[in-house]
Amino acid sequence: MRLRVDVSVESGRLGVSRAVIERAVRAALRAGGIRDAVISLAFVSNRTIAQLNRTHLGHRGVTDVISFGYPPAADPAPLVGDVYVGLEVARAAARARGISAREELVRLAVHGTLHVVGYDHPDGEARTSSAMWRAQERIVRRVLKASA
């Protein structure tokens, strides 16, 4: 098994260790049955996430997480993906939900990675009852408990 995870922060302090984020990404990969992967996870500014959102998804404004999974160049080949987390958006969401920024950052790292793995969810209220959401929350609880 070869899981490579690279974590970067565009600017400022993250507020959670890179090791915890790496564990979260690896746990999401394992949950999806992935044994060979290269994942890049970047925590970015509102400006950067808004630009990515507009350029790649055609949406205006900021969002919390954007993921890109790339088709394999050969068979067998590792799963390759990029995950971008809007750091300021995540912190604001954490404040609004009354949870720690640390928890929300772990959640978004897991969420974005699950999308790269191939999970998806419906929009609206059904989102939080989807199989993806349930898997995400199990992983988040496990990672946070192990890193407490």
Q: What is the pLDDT of residues 68-111, one digit of tens each?
A: 998 877 778 899 999 999 999 999 999 999 999 999 999 999 99
Tell me how far CA of residue 112 lies from CA of 74, 75, 76, in angstroms: 24, 24, 23
Which residue did the predictor score with more confidence, 70 or 44? Answer: 44
Q: How far apart are CA 95 and CA 112, in angstroms?
A: 20
Q: What is the pLDDT of residue 127?
A: 84
Q: Which two tokens stand for residue 46?
A: 């509102």
Instruction: Please report, as a single letter, which amino acid is at residue 12.
Output: G
| DSSP string computed for 110-128 | HHHHHHHHT----SGGGGG
